[in-house]
Every structure is written in structure tokens, then in C-alpha cells.
Amino acid sequence: MPNPTAAILIIGDEILTGRTREGNAHHLAGVLVQHGIDLRQIRVISDDAPTIIAAVRELAGAHDHLFTSGGIGPTHDDITADAVAEAFGRHIGVREDARAILAAHYAARGVEFTEARLRMARIPDGAALIDNPVSGAPGFSVENCHVMAGVPNIFQAMVAGLVPRLAGGKPLISRNWQLMVAEAAIADELRQLAADHPEVSFGSYPFVTDGRYGTNLVARATDEAALAAAYTALQAMFPEGQ
Amino acid sequence: MPNPTAAILIIGDEILTGRTREGNAHHLAGVLVQHGIDLRQIRVISDDAPTIIAAVRELAGAHDHLFTSGGIGPTHDDITADAVAEAFGRHIGVREDARAILAAHYAARGVEFTEARLRMARIPDGAALIDNPVSGAPGFSVENCHVMAGVPNIFQAMVAGLVPRLAGGKPLISRNWQLMVAEAAIADELRQLAADHPEVSFGSYPFVTDGRYGTNLVARATDEAALAAAYTALQAMFPEGQ
């Protein structure tokens, strides 16, 4: 059976205007690989309701899972929860279970539970809550769409709670072999290697260090034996690597 | 006249498998803001020809410019140039101007001009070359699609040569105001401020430092006077900020 597929949708003008360098997608990509879920696309869009609704419908429809990051805080620019509800045709309002979680979180810390904070208890009907051990306000899953906060430590905590509960597949495993030669110098051999090992995906990533050209060759596969055979062949073909 | 719009397409399995944290989109986003081109979407996809072709057609069709990163090197996994040619229905082959650039680059460095390296002279018919002062092999523009290398220093050099030649618009300017309060504590005032200044976009970005909550408020606009008025109002509303 093939691995489940996924897309990540990052919502936030701060990425598109160059203010913030996005890191949540990179974190989640690493977690999904380990869990055997194949990440097919990462998309970054602005805080615009019609754009979010269209992207959620498209990406949730085309993948087994869609993970979103950003736009579920208490301020006027946090419109993700409402947009996701609309994308799935669900009603959204303050939900008692989410309200109770926030009330307990703030009571334990002596923080006032204001109207603005209550906004974070707005959850689409039928959604399952995603635990937020950092700041209380939960994320949620509607069907195959998992809605999480954009603040990196909260996003990571939500991912840690959510992903292990999802059905996974075969983890993609990879081996790296580094050569201090330009990529073009090994292109023909590498093409042959890729043809000889169709179950293994070979990537080549050039770099320059201290004015010298180098290439990282990465072999990836879900089958451990196929990867081991390809990696042995790779090492034999380029014995000067490490 | 509204600013031109753009999308960025990042092509590479190494991003989706979590191996590499992407930085080219962040770099280009900052350059586009300065040049008055509105970045609407960043998309990361795998090294798969049908996926690249479909994404290029969709994103080039929906924006004034599409910038791509990755997949134009000499190895078997470098399929971007061929996929872009197909997306625009153009023939692709080794082009004399690109071949001459590579020949001169390698001759000056005493590097052999191999068959693999010649692959990097494959350019779609009618495309304009994008200069690569780092390693010779050019990028290219087909219609509104600008195809660049994924290696960060080469990507940045290509961007530096290309973007100033594109028609720009009004740069998006922004001002930051940092408060050591939780985002929810100022949500109501901020909503009012946003309503009072419709030409200005307000973003609020929570953070935690040394266990204390803080919020960065960012006001963005293309109109300098509108931004100045909104920023003065923002400072007056939250005088404790900096």
C-alpha cells in the first residue's frame, strides 16, 4: 500500500513580505518523513479569506492530509478558523470544550479571560481539538485538515501531539555520500546508477566550500534492502567520497 | 495602478523530505517587496515533470511573474528546463549563445566542457538568458516565467541581475512596534486601529522571551503618508511600546 500523502499550507503575510523566514514547514516535513507520510506540496499564502478557502478545498481534496500553520490567534488578522469552516461548509462558533480548556488555562495562571481570548475557542462543528500544551488555545482537525498555530514552539508542540495519532506508512530512509567534485563530473555515472536502482531516488546537491566544488549525493527509499544495495553501489562507484 | 503580482515556485525533493530548509523564497520575497512587486504565493513541489508543468502553467497564468528555483543543473534529476519548455509549448535544445557562455566560462578556468555540462546549455526557444556570474550556466526567462538555479549564492546572483530589469511598483513599506504584552490583551484596540486606517495592513506577531509574552505589531502600506498617520496612531494607542 502506498504511503499516505500530505500538503502543508502556511498562512501569513509576514512570510510573503519577507519579514519572517518560515520554519514550520521544514520542521513538519522532517516529522512526516519519519512517520511515513509523503509530503507532496508546501504552499504559502496571504491572510485573505477567499485565498485560504480555495487553497484548503484544493489541497485537502488532493491529499490524504492537509496541515495548516498560522492565523488562529485572537486578533483581527486571525481568520484561518473561519475560512477553514467555510471551506468544509461547517458552522463555527465558541465551543464549550475549547472554552473550558482556555478558562482552566487562564485561571491557573491568573490571566483574565477576555472577549478577545474567547475568540480562540471558536471551533468548527464536529472538529476534533488538537492539544496546545504551551498556551492553551487548541488547534483542530476538520475531516483531513489539521489547523495549527503559527508560533513555532506552539506549532511544534501541536505536531508532536497530532502526527503520531495519524496512520503512517513506510518511513522514507536516506543515506548521504559527499564528494569533493563538481556535480557535472559525475552526472553520467549517477544517471546509470539511478537507472540500475529504480526503487531508489537519487538526488545530487552541489555546494561550494572554500572555493572548492562539492556534491552531496542522497539516496532515498522506503525499502531498506533496496537502499542498502544502491548505497553500496554508490560507494563503489565513487570510492573517494565519505 | 496596482503593483505587479508574483509567485515563487521552489522545485526540489530535498525540501519536501525535510533535508534542506528552504531560504531562496525568503530572500526573493525581501527583494520583491523593495521593488514593488506583490508576492502572492510560494509553492514547493517535487522533482516530477507533470507536477512542474501543471504548477508552471497555473502560477504563470495567475500572476504577472513566476520565479522558479531549482532543477537546472547537469544531473538526471534536473528536469526543470524541459518541464518549463513543455508548459509553454516551446521546443528546447542546446542553444548557441548559452553554449558559448559555458565554453568561455570553462575555458577561463581550465575545466573540461563535458557532455553533462552541455546539458546546462539547453534553453527553450525564444527565452532570454539570465546571467550567472557565479558558475556560468545561465537561467532563462520564457514569457513571464523566470527560471533560476537552486544553489543559494547562484540564485541570489541571478535575482540581483534580473529583478531590477522588471517593471516594479510602489514598494511596500513597514514599521514595527514591539509591546511586552500578550496579543490578546490588545486585540480590540488593534481591530479599531485597522478599521480606522483601511489603507494600512496591520499584522500582530506574538512571541515569548524569557517566559514573558510579547507582540510585534507591524503596519504595512505602499502610501508613505498613510503609513505615517497609522504609525503615529499606533504609538499613541500603545505608548509603552518601542
Q: Quick: pLDDT tens for B75-106.
A: 988 999 999 999 999 999 999 999 999 999 99
The residue type at B55: A
Q: Which residues, numbered 190 to 209 in chain A, qualify as contacts with chain B under a Cβ-Cβ cut-off of 8 Å?
A: 190-191, 194, 201-208
Does residue A242 fall inside a structural domain?
Answer: no
CA–centroid distance for A231 within its chain: 28
CA atoms of B170 and B163, how far apart (whole Å)? 14
Residues B24 and B135 in one domain: yes
Query: What pLDDT sits at residue A1?
Result: 81
Does residue B242 fall inside a structural domain?
Answer: no
Of A165, A187, A202, which one is at a domain's C-terminal end? A165
Answer yes or no: do A116 and B22 touch at CB < 8 A. Answer: no
Are B43 and B55 within 8 A, CB to CB? yes
Query: What pLDDT sits at residue B175?
Result: 95
Which of A41, A75, A190 faces B43 most closely, judged by CB atoms?
A41
CA atoms of A148 and B72, how far apart (whole Å)? 35
Residues B142 and B53 in one domain: yes
Please give the tally of structural domains in chain B.
2
Residue span of the structural domain in which B192 resides? 173-237
Query: What pLDDT sits at residue B1?
Result: 81
The model's pLDDT over A148-206, given as tens digits with 9 standing for 90+, comes to 999 999 999 999 999 999 999 999 999 999 999 988 889 999 999 999 999 999 999 98
The residue type at A77: D
Instruction: Say if A181 is an interface residue toward chain B (CB within 8 Å).
Output: no
CA atoms of A180 and A218, how far apart (whole Å)? 14
The neighbouring-strand residues paired with A216 are A178, A205
Residue B105: phi, psi to the nearest 5? -60, -45
Residues A153 and A79 in one domain: yes
Specify the range with the lowest mean pLDDT, choosing from A8-12, A145-149, A181-185, B140-144: A181-185
Measured between beta carbons, the chain B residues lying within 8 angstroms of A75 are 183-184, 186-187, 190-191, 204
Residues B221 and B133 in one domain: no
B145: pLDDT strictly greater than 90: yes
CA atoms of A32 and A164, how far apart (whole Å)? 10
**Mean pLDDT across B232-237:** 94
The residue type at A110: G
Instruction: Say if A59 is an interface residue toward chain B (CB within 8 Å).
Output: no
CA atoms of A4 and B196, how far apart (whole Å)? 47
Start-end of H helices in chain B: 13-16, 24-35, 49-62, 80-87, 96-109, 115-118, 152-162, 187-196, 224-237
Residues B152 and B185 in one domain: no
Does residue B24 fall inside a structural domain?
Answer: yes
Among B42, B176, B190, most A C-beta atoms within 10 A, so best to mutate, is: B42
Residues B194 and B82 in one domain: no
Q: Which residues lie below 8 Å from residue B136, measured CB to CB, with a gap of 6+? A: B101, B102, B104, B105, B106, B120
CATH number, residue A73: 3.40.980.10
How high does pLDDT run on average in chain B? 95
Answer yes or no: do B17 and A183 touch at CB < 8 A. Answer: no
Which of B16, B76, B182 faces A42 most closely, judged by CB atoms?
B16
Instruction: Note the ipTM here.
Output: 0.93
Does residue A108 fall inside a structural domain?
Answer: yes
Residues B26 and B131 in one domain: yes
Answer yes or no: do B75 and A22 touch at CB < 8 A. Answer: no
Query: What pLDDT sits at residue A139?
Result: 98
The model's pLDDT over A111-140, given as tens digits with 9 standing for 90+, comes to 899 988 999 999 999 999 999 999 999 999
Residues A214 and A125 in one domain: no
Residues B136 and B16 in one domain: yes
Of A114, A139, A165, which one is at a domain's C-terminal end? A165
Measured between beta carbons, the chain B residues lying within 8 angstroms of A191 are 75-76
Q: Is B15 helix (H, G, I), strand (E, B) or coil?
A: helix
CA atoms of A33 and B6, how far apart (whole Å)? 30
Query: What pLDDT sits at residue B213?
Result: 86
Answer yes or no: do B16 and A40 touch at CB < 8 A. Answer: yes
Instruction: Say if A117 is an interface residue toward chain B (CB within 8 Å).
Output: yes
Residues B24 and B97 in one domain: yes
Residues A116 and A197 in one domain: no
Of B139, B165, B191, which one is at a domain's C-terminal end? B165
Does residue B53 fall inside a structural domain?
Answer: yes
CA atoms of A133 and A69, how far apart (whole Å)? 16
CA atoms of B164 and B34, how far apart (whole Å)? 10
The model's pLDDT over A38-89, given as tens digits with 9 standing for 90+, comes to 999 999 999 999 999 999 999 999 999 999 999 999 998 899 999 999 999 9
Answer yes or no: do B76 and A33 touch at CB < 8 A. Answer: no
Distances (CA, A) of B58 to A4, A174, B91: 25, 32, 20
Does residue A132 fall inside a structural domain?
Answer: yes
Does residue A113 fall inside a structural domain?
Answer: yes
CATH number, residue A182: 3.30.70
Q: Is B226 helix (H, G, I), strand (E, B) or coil?
A: helix
Residues B74 and B140 in one domain: yes
Query: What pLDDT sits at residue A210?
Result: 81
**Mean pLDDT across B115-129:** 95
Instruction: Say if A212 is an interface residue toward chain B (CB within 8 Å).
Output: no
Does residue B196 fall inside a structural domain?
Answer: yes
Query: What pLDDT sits at residue A21?
Result: 94
